[in-house]
Structure 1
Amino acid sequence: MNLLLLPEAKPHHTLSANDPRLEHIRGVLRLQVGDQLDVGAVNGPRGKGTVRAIADDAVELELAWGPVPPPPPPVDLILGLPRPNTAKKILQEATTLGVRRLIFAQSGKCDPAYARSSLWSSGEWQGHVRLGAEQAFTTHVPEVEVCPSLGDALAKADRSAMRWALDVYEAEGSLSAAMLEAPAVALVLGPERGWNGPDRRELRAAGFTLLGLGERVLRQETATLVGLSLVLAKLGAL
């Protein structure tokens, strides 16, 4: 945890026993009264927190705020809805690398049960996004949405962005060689079982070019990190 991300930029905050970061502060960082740590407010400023009181079940912080960090790169990342454990990894790592929006979609080969997971219904996903932002030392978290269809998700992509979709079997070129001709990118990846024919037709109809990452078949979370890294490099964000 490189930064403690808080809901709002208030002058004081108390971490209670139900926040797992309390144990990190007490047991890992071993902060004492008067010590400081880096803090941030969601989509707001960064600052410093000073420990004013510490107990077994709470830590009281006094907060001093500074400037807002730079915004995330202009990337809309759209993914065929993965199984919950894979989604957790992507939520955290994509946030750490930096995206503006993270949209999950029920595409042709997705298991409908994934959308009913408690990861989404309970709001657990927010914790994984927060961990990603804390790792990256940023306060910015992406907009996250689960769409009932691929078409709904594609309609939410930035219309002025480059439109690239990753595909192993029908790629028209490589992502590494693709030319960036717009200031933003909408990058789409299929679910763990890939695209079907109707998915590909829908992608092409929406103006997406199918591109590849080479001949090897990658796990969805691996393809996400590789593809996103290439896009961020093209945007000058890496």
Structure 2
Amino acid sequence: MQRYFVAPEQFRGGAVTITGEDAHHALRVMRMKPGDKIIVSDGESRTVLASVTELIPQAMKADILEKLPQDSEPAWSVSIAQGLPKGDKMELVIQKGTEIGAAEFLPFESERIVVQYDAKKESKRLERWGKIAKEAAEQSHRHRIPAIGPVRSWKELLATIPDYDLAVFCYEREGDAAQGVGIGAALRKFREGKLLSLEEGRTPSVLIIVGPEGGFTDREAAEADAAGAVVAGLGKRILRTETAGIVGLTCVLYEAGEMGGE
């Protein structure tokens, strides 16, 4: 069944209106007709089953049949801070991270980034990334579209670390020869410690920090540690930058019980 995200104000009484590219997609690509069922979410607190009543090139209207439970979002809110990679790798991180369950993406600059960041192109880049997140959220039956923050400097990213209940700085040296702290140990320590002290009903927040193709410097690792992040490895093998965040996210959600973890 086709799913769509709309702004809250597009819900009016017992009906909802889909506009723009989504309406065009429904009419021209999906070839929907009155009576077809769709699922519509406002990306916040409401997801409904609706029946199409009218289709025109600019809009599709549907009557709400019932409110659906919002049960596909993870119990923990996990953000991926991604050192800017080259090419279209950030698009892959956003697409797959959204499918798995990331709540937010924070692109940032660091010492060893390979790509030449152009601030003039940021608005178009963020628009493209937002579209990818929306499509991936629809495909994976999410109830919310992950937020995508503006590109931050390294210092700006460090300043956000205290905002999270746990920040994991993914550093390949911690995985060398199985030495150092692994992300599994860091997550278990969090579960057995700080997680228990959180206010009941509050969603735990976790930040996964991943470096670009060139990795992180020792100085950046020390600064992350000083800012309150846990420096941890993702295993003995060196992962590509577009793989590391996805692996880290999966590990966190497993520990949160989303994938059969405890």
Name the TM-score, length of structure 2 as normaliser. Answer: 0.77
Q: Does 1:85 align with 2:106?
A: no
SS at match of 1:113: coil
Question: Does the CA-based 8 Å contact 1:83-1:114 persist in structure 2?
Answer: no
Instruction: Please state how far the C-alpha of 1:2 moved relative to its aligned partner.
Output: 4.9
Q: Partner letter of residue 39 of structure 1? A: V
Q: Unpaired segments of 5 or more residues in structure 2?
A: 196-203
Matching of residues 1-238 of structure 1 within 5 Å: 2-8=2-8, 9-10=10-11, 11-16=15-20, 19=21, 22-23=24-25, 25-26=26-27, 29-54=30-55, 57-64=57-64, 66=67, 69-70=70-71, 72=74, 73-83=76-86, 85-111=88-114, 113-116=116-119, 118=121, 120-122=122-124, 123-159=127-163, 161-171=165-175, 172-178=180-186, 179-181=188-190, 182-183=194-195, 184=204, 185-238=206-259
SS at match of 2:239: coil
Instruction: Please state how far the C-alpha of 1:85 moved relative to its aligned partner.
Output: 0.9
SS at match of 1:231: helix
Distance 1:93 1:34, change over 3 A: same
Instruction: Please state how far the C-alpha of 1:98 moved relative to its aligned partner.
Output: 1.8
Aligned Cα RMSD in Å? 2.6
201-210 or 224-233, which moves further after superposition?
Answer: 201-210
Instruction: Please state how far the C-alpha of 1:92 moved relative to its aligned partner.
Output: 2.1
* CA shift digits 1:154-189 (9 cap, x unpaired): 322354522311121244222234324233322111
SS at match of 2:95: helix
Distance 1:193 1:2, change over 3 A: farther
Distance 1:237 1:203, change over 3 A: same
62-71 or 216-225, which moves further after superposition?
Answer: 62-71
Question: Does the CA-based 8 Å contact 1:90-1:221 persist in structure 2?
Answer: yes
Question: Does the CA-based 8 Å contact 1:86-1:221 persist in structure 2?
Answer: yes
Between Structure 1 and Structure 2, how many residues are aligned? 233
Find the aligned partners of 2:83 and 2:118 in 1 and give their Cα distance.
11
SS at match of 2:150: strand
Q: Partner letter of residue 104 of structure 1? A: P
Question: Does the CA-based 8 Å contact 2:49-2:68 persist in structure 1?
Answer: no
Instruction: Please state how far the C-alpha of 1:208 moved relative to its aligned partner.
Output: 2.0
Q: Partner letter of residue 42 of structure 2? A: A
Find the aligned partners of 1:97 and 1:199 in 2 and give their Cα distance.
28
Distance 1:59 1:49, change over 3 A: farther
* CA shift digits 1:129-169 (9 cap, x unpaired): 11122122122123321343222113223545223111212
Find the aligned partners of 1:137 and 1:194 in 2 and give their Cα distance.
33
Runs of 4+ in 1 over 6 A off after TM superposition: none
Instruction: Please state how far the C-alpha of 1:47 moved relative to its aligned partner.
Output: 0.8
Instruction: Please state how far the C-alpha of 1:230 moved relative to its aligned partner.
Output: 0.6
Instruction: Please state how far the C-alpha of 1:127 moved relative to its aligned partner.
Output: 0.7
Instruction: Please state how far the C-alpha of 1:4 moved relative to its aligned partner.
Output: 1.1
Q: Partner letter of residue 194 of structure 1? A: G
Name the TM-score, length of structure 1 as normaliser. Answer: 0.83
Instruction: Please state how far the C-alpha of 1:117 moved relative to its aligned partner.
Output: 7.0
Question: Does the CA-based 8 Å contact 2:166-2:207 persist in structure 1?
Answer: yes
Q: Which has the higher helix share?
A: 2
Q: Unpaired segments of 5 or more residues in structure 1?
A: none
SS at match of 2:222: helix
